[in-house]
Chains A and B, each alone.
Chain A
Amino acid sequence: MKSKKTTLIKFLYLLLIFMFLYIPIMVLIAFSFNQSKLNVVWTGFTFKWYQSLMHNAGILEAVKNSFIIAIISTIISVIIGTLAAIGMYRYKFRGKRIVDTILYVPLVIPEIVMGISLLAFFSIVKIPLGKVSLIIAHVTFSIAYVVAVVKTRLDGFDKSVEEVAMDLGASPLKTFFYVTLPIIMPGVIAGALLAFTLSLDDVIISFFVAGPSSVTLPLKVFSMVKFGVTPEINALSTIIILLTVVVLCFALLIRNVNINMKKIVILLTSIFLVIASVGGGIFTYAKNNAGPTEVLNVFNWSEYLPQSVIDKFEQTYNIKVNYSTFSSNEEMLAKLMAGGGNYDLTVASDFMVEVLSKQGLITEINKDSLTNLSNIGPQYLDLPFDKGNKYSTPYMWLAGIISYDSSKIPEGSIKGYKDLWKPELKNSLTLLDDERVIIGMTLKMLGYSLNETSPEALLKAKEALIKLQPNIKSYDSDSPKTSLINGESKAIFAWGAEGSLASRENPNIKYVVPEEGLFLQQDNFVIPKAAKNIKAAELFMNFIMDPEISAEISRSFPYGNPNASAYKYIDKTILDDKAVYPPEDAVKKGEYLKDIGSFVIDLDKIWTQVK
């Protein structure tokens, strides 16, 4: 009695849901072919994003890592998981329920719990964060899935077949290989595919246990999404989706086929060949160097060092650079303290250098090998946080600047921090996701020092910040300029270079030096105690201080350059750019952050309450 009407309703309902599921993906794919950078208007068909993707060494490196980790973890988890599933199916024993639960919980536990527990575990057991830690983590959650899938296949398994085999003279081992395994093979393969996909796809757990030399694809995508400007991500996503479709079709085809040993061998060989050729292709792309044996692990802020400089260094010294990024000093400190990292070189802001040296996390530098140190302007050396530059060399200095879209906010209406509180600016601000910066800025607005720690001051700051909340659209330390460029926000409070870069994209963007006083920060290179390749680290530090290189960095990321000898190579426009080089008197009035010790906890509390 299926009336036409019911069928129509059913069909429409399905259609609606499928549209909800697929339209975003379709849009994504469509815009990967779009000429324009912005994912809004169609300006023409092109493959260029795919091409630039192929040349993006960072992405290819991530893909390579992801594949290696996925393959190894899949193999391990499939073997362990299949055996476990068979054991659970066959035998009864005391405590079986407990084992059952242990194998079930990973399926439902929030991944973040698994991630942090593994992070804690690795740091205490002193396993370095890298491919090994990732593989261990991935195997851990994959085993449960493999067991679940193989179990399902075993449910329909006729036990008497095994008994027959033994009856006919096959020892238990032979029975397993000739009879049991071939029959459950489709389930095993399904489990393998699931484990493989989960490994490739994993974000949360990998986020916590990845190390410098092992950026995985999802993590790379994560950072790209945060910056989110080029459609390279769309291209990458399209490829990922395509891959998924292929793997999925394969999986569904395999489902109920009965295979014997011969077919298994053929299957495995062909899979191996496919993977080898694809992997080989990716390998050749990713290996542009003639195999440098030395490796340097560099940890830096995101969007702080252009790829061209890294490439030049690699070519000059034939040392491979593993470049990882962080979004805040605290994040860097956390990773360093977790002991997982073996970073050879990292960047720390002024007060953080103090913290690191107090904690004994950095080593003294050998100034003899740093011949270019003399290029640094004297006003940037010998600063209070590191007298005598025992630990650090200056990298960049920055000032906090308010940048805004003059087509949306009338020019001149913002003069200082206090103007950010204006009600017209409801839901239009993007601020740095940094508690010390924002709370410090608020303190300055109230007339206190950046580093004020008295309870009354902090209380006033908290109240002020709460009042500011409605105006804040988002927090972003990785690429606040993105929100300004794509129109999400009307104004941002970020480091000068962000504003400068934004104005290059959108001439409407102007900036203001806050009249209450500048927020200054000096970033420096330091060498962590756990560094393995100190020589290469020092080479890099020195390399950066080369005037021409330094100028090149400034060109891409126009922060304040402490390298006096580099000025002659830097564009005049940048030198004149007030966002990058604010007027002298403003700088004199400016303040640097200082380490406030345990008062950080109070700031933490405020930050959480306010957000």
Chain B
Amino acid sequence: MTKSVFVQLLNICKSFDQDEPIIKNLNLDIKKGEFLTLLGPSGCGKTTTLRMIAGFELPTSGEIVIDGENITQKPPYLRTVNTVFQNYALFPHMNIYDNIAFGLKMKKMPKKAIKDKVNEMLKMVQLEGYENRMPSQLSGGQMQRVAIARAVVNSPKVLLLDEPLGALDLKLRKQMQLELKHLQKILGITFVFVTHDQEEALTMSDRIVVMNKGVIEQTGTPEELYEHPKTRFVADFLGETNILEGEVFKLKEDEVLLKIEEKQDIIRIPNMGYTLGDKFIVSVRPERIRIKNQVQEGDVWLACKFKERIYVGSNIKVVMILNSGKEIIVNEPIEQSFIFKDEIKDYFITWNSNHTIVIKA
């Protein structure tokens, strides 16, 4: 079921009084009813982009279209978009009921209708009975849910969430991640979610937009981004990975040989029309690597020495060192973890060449 494009950002540029633009020529299509996450490190422009959709910032140039309507110049209070803020921003001088009812009051909805809707919301976020409490009396998680209810009750076309879970402790966060995902499925509203936590993004999103320094690095489903990153940044940012720098030093018909880290270590990759001297980034996930005592047929093999072994609870992390001095991180499930014997000093790491991620440098 293909979803139609619902929100479009066209050629968006944004700079604040300085010469250096924050957002450079951004183009993004958001599908109706999807859970889209803007992911990136601090300062990459994800929050600014979100605020432009909400209307709190005006793009320096470019257009924003929601549901076919160009709303670029519209002030926030005239957009059918609602935001859940990072610090909840509940009205401290109103009780929970009034907080949630605020948007409906602004729309001049009749009292009875407001009451029904608010009660429905309270039920949905499991805060029935809290109508008369003041925000100062609530816990972080409860305030979070009020903030969501307050936004959602207005049936916005798009719901924007600006790192809403940042202030919660780990356990609560994980719980809320699932609840939010669940909520989105029930409501069917398009969610645009901003976070810097890649694990959170991977958990919740239908699609992820990875941003860095004001540009989009790559857009795709979590699996696409994780398994097939197109840039070094994406490869490095999502999940843990090992990054090796390689250069083509031998051309064959169906494969080329890469000299890794300027040493003798060799990796073979399929020849996609490369030439001698082409530079590449090779990325391999730690969980795809195994440690062996000796070389066996096929696949990728690299010689290495042992450095460190860390017990993480759900698996074992081993740090190995290549001849070039580069460190490789290996994630092993506990049952299959390699047993290191003191006598043998040289080891090998290996992985299935399908799992070699190749990015042209």
Contacts and interface: CB of A to CB of B under 8 A. Distances in A.
Interface string B75-88: 11110011101110
Given A160-B87, A183-B93, A260-B93, A167 B106 contact: no
Contact of B82 (A168, A172, A175, A258): A168
B91 interface: yes
A146 to B, nearest CB: 21
B106 A174 contact: yes
B103 interface: yes
B89 A158 contact: yes
Given A160-B87, A164-B85, A167-B82, A183 B102 contact: no
Interface string A240-270: 0000000000000000001110000000000
Interface string A137-173: 0000000000000000000001011011111111110
B58 to A, nearest CB: 14
Contacts of B94: 260
Contact of B85 (A163, A169, A174, A258): A163
A168 B75 contact: no
B93 A167 contact: no
Given A174-B106, A182-B93, A260-B94, A167 B83 contact: yes
A372 B141 CA distance: 91
Contact of B87 (A158, A166, A167, A169): A158
A166 B76 contact: yes
A163 B75 CA distance: 11
A170 B108 CA distance: 11
Contact of B77 (A169, A259, A260): A169
Contacts of A169: 77-78, 103, 106-107, 154
A161 B134 CA distance: 15
Contacts of A172: 77
A170 B93 contact: no
Contacts of B92: 161, 183, 258
Given A169-B106, A170-B77, A164 B89 contact: yes
B107 A167 contact: no
B89 A168 contact: no
B150 A168 contact: yes
Interface string B147-166: 00011001000000000000
Query: Which of A166, A168, A174 has the most chain B CB within a 10 Å cutoff?
Result: A168
A163 B54 CA distance: 10
A168 to B, nearest CB: 4
Contacts of B90: 161
Given A166-B76, A169-B154, A258 B89 contact: no
B56 interface: yes
B96 to A, nearest CB: 14
B324 to A, nearest CB: 50
Given A160-B89, A161-B91, A260-B93, A166 B82 contact: no
A164 B91 CA distance: 9
Contacts of B55: 166-167
A258 B77 CA distance: 25
Contacts of A171: 75, 77
A179 interface: yes
Given A165-B102, A166-B77, A168-B102, A179 B85 contact: no
Nearest to B54: A167
Contacts of A164: 83, 85, 89, 91, 150
Nearest to B51: A163
A521 B107 CA distance: 81
B81 to A, nearest CB: 8
B93 A163 contact: no
Contact of A167 (B77, B91, B134): B77
A383 B92 CA distance: 79
A183 B93 CA distance: 7
A595 B75 CA distance: 74
A169 B153 CA distance: 12
Contact of A168 (B56, B134, B154): B154
Most A CB contacts (10 A, CB to CB) among B78, B81, B83, B151 go to: B83
Nearest to B136: A258
A146 B54 CA distance: 34
Given A166-B75, A168-B82, A170-B77, A259 B93 contact: yes
A166 B154 CA distance: 13
A550 B90 CA distance: 76
Contacts of A174: 106
Interface in A175-191: 175, 178-179, 182-183
Interface string A180-217: 00110000000000000000000000000000000000
B93 A160 contact: no
A507 B55 CA distance: 87
B134 to A, nearest CB: 8
A172 B81 CA distance: 17
A56 B150 CA distance: 61
Contacts of A183: 91-93
Contacts of A258: 92-93, 134
A112 to B, nearest CB: 43
Interface string B88-122: 01111110000000110011000000000000000
A384 B274 CA distance: 122
A183 B56 CA distance: 21
Interface string B47-78: 00000001110000000000000000001111
A161 B150 contact: no
A165 B78 CA distance: 12
A177 to B, nearest CB: 12
Contact of A163 (B76, B81, B106, B154): B76
B40 to A, nearest CB: 21
A174 B86 CA distance: 23
A599 B94 CA distance: 73
A175 B106 CA distance: 10
Contacts of A158: 87, 89
A328 B54 CA distance: 71
Nearest to B79: A167
Contacts of B89: 158, 160-161, 163-164
B204 to A, nearest CB: 22
A259 B86 CA distance: 24
Which of B77, B86, B103, B107 counts the most A-chain CB atoms under 10 A from its CB? B77
Contacts of B87: 158, 160
A153 to B, nearest CB: 13
B227 to A, nearest CB: 37
B98 to A, nearest CB: 8
29 contacts: A158-B87, A160-B85, A161-B92, A163-B56, A163-B76, A163-B89, A164-B85, A164-B91, A165-B91, A166-B55, A166-B56, A166-B77, A167-B55, A167-B56, A167-B83, A168-B77, A168-B82, A168-B102, A168-B106, A169-B77, A170-B77, A170-B102, A170-B106, A172-B77, A182-B93, A183-B92, A258-B93, A258-B134, A260-B94
Interface of A: 158, 160-161, 163-172, 174-175, 178-179, 182-183, 258-260
- Give me the 8 closest cross-chain CB pairs, A-B, nearest first: A169-B106, A168-B103, A160-B89, A258-B93, A166-B76, A166-B77, A164-B89, A167-B83
